[in-house]
Structure 1
């Protein structure tokens, strides 16, 4: 059996992290969550996920800076980053951050699973 794909979710909202964990584990993925983007490159490098979900509002280092840090790192830049936020300007924020895609909150579970499948080919 193929190794489970790994998803890393950054969000300062525990409920969102719990919900994502439940959905992704149920779908057969391995998941790691973090409430802060502190030391983002080391957090990501230690886990080497197949895909990252990045919230806009993160303590200390915001989602835009965190995404840029990942995309500027030669060892990490291949990892798709999905920007997800309740912000009305999410497409502009995702562009500014250099994210690969974005998902508005609140999201429906189907949309969440679809975006993962699309980027995990």
Structure 2
């Protein structure tokens, strides 16, 4: 059974890189560029993992992470946060995600962190 990942990222270049990496690893990926679209479409996709950027055009991925963890339907869903502007410590203090990836990221490290949360 194919594992599914919802990616919330507004940068087209990063979407392309992440898409290439995850699809090479045989994940099915659904992309959202803003929180509003994510909230409309993520549940229908039935993902196994949420991969969320922090800085988004219509809000903050850390706040969304908190919302997802507070919702009984998504509270047990693994969440991996990504940011170029926040340190691990800053993200950990604001959001209870399973892991945090700093941008730019090492491809092998990125894959191993995602794999660890989804398997």
TM-score normalised by length of structure 2: 0.91
| Contiguous gaps of at least 5 residues in structure 1 | none
How far apart, in 2, do the equivalents of 1:51 and 1:40 lie?
13
Aligned pairs for 1:19-98 (under 5 A) are: 19-38=17-36, 40-98=38-96
2:109 alignment counterpart = 111
TM-score normalised by length of structure 1: 0.89
Q: Tell me, what secondary structure is at the counterpart of 1:64?
A: helix
Q: Pairwise CA RMSD of aligned residues?
A: 1.5
How far apart, in 1, do the equivalents of 2:35 and 2:26 lie?
25
| Contiguous gaps of at least 5 residues in structure 2 | none
Q: Tell me, what secondary structure is at the counterpart of 2:6?
A: strand
The runs of at least 4 aligned residues of structure 1 exceeding 6 Å deviation read none
Higher helix share: 2
Give the length in aligned residue pairs: 119
